[in-house]
Homo-oligomer: A and B are copies of this chain.
Amino acid sequence: MPNKRVKAPFFVVNPKNFLVGEILLDLAQYANQLAEEYHLDILFTAPTAELAILSKECPNLLITSQHMDPIHPGDSMGRISAESLKNVGVQVVVLNHADHPLSVAEIAQTINRAKQVGLQTIVCADSVIEAQALALLNPDILLAEPTSLIGKNQISSRDYVLSTIEQIKEINSNVLVEQGAGIGSEKDVLELLNLGADGVGVTSGIVKAENPKEMMKKMIQVVASFRGERK
């Protein structure tokens, strides 16, 4: 079963390790319902151990792993293989997050391993020059996110966003560009899409909202209506 390529504009719900169990599943199920309702590509990340449950309960989401190791099946312990992720229904993996930095050699190998089993990749970059370097490795999506803004209530500057998108596409026009870091409301989501982001990823903006499900819905509605206008 070939993996359908993520389509812009897409939305990434990234609860990191903030949520587990019932609360995580409840949020995912609501995202699953919204994905169906709005016919949007919604990626939803989760702790590795929870991926199997989410993928079973939420068929409309693109279930996304928060990490993967550049290994083949075999004599390793506690490393996350492409095969094990594929087996539980994962469709996308995040690589090189600030919390799990990889060497260039490891990123190249892990992208290859993902392609071999039919997983798509999101590779994180911290600066424009890094984003360009990583674009050459042909990930599906580049997440351009200044580490200094992660968890802050402030989106990347207009200049950063514009130059990142332009300079990544210049190097590799096939790569989709995701913007994240510091998105606090649906207005931030719209602003980033208007600046040219192919997709937007949110953590704190949702998990720390007064009403996470309501906030997630508003953000997803903005993405859906942005797509409508663009058509």
Contacts and interface: CB of A to CB of B under 8 A. Distances in A.
A50 B47 CA distance: 12
Interface in A101-157: 101-108, 125-127, 129-130, 132-134, 136-138, 147, 150-151
Given A78-B66, A104-B134, A49 B88 contact: yes
Give this chain's copy count: 4
Contacts of A90: 49
Contacts of A2: none
A159 to B, nearest CB: 19
Contacts of A48: 48-49, 78, 80, 84
A186 to B, nearest CB: 22
A18 interface: yes
Contacts of A171: 136
A42 to B, nearest CB: 18
Nearest to A126: B105
Given A52-B49, A126-B105, A81 B17 contact: yes
Contacts of A74: 16-18
Interface stretch (A32-40, A92-100, A190-198): A92-100
Given A53-B88, A137-B133, A77 B17 contact: yes
A50 B20 contact: no
Interface string A158-182: 0000000000000100000000000
Interface residue range, chain A? 35 or more
A20 B87 contact: yes
Given A83-B21, A132-B136, A96 B104 contact: yes
B73 A67 contact: no
A150 B133 CA distance: 25
A51 interface: yes
Given A49-B51, A50-B84, A133-B133, A17 B75 contact: yes
A50 B53 CA distance: 10
Nearest to A150: B75
A71 interface: yes
Contacts of A138: 129
Given A18-B74, A84-B20, A133-B137, A79 B99 contact: yes
A87 B50 contact: yes
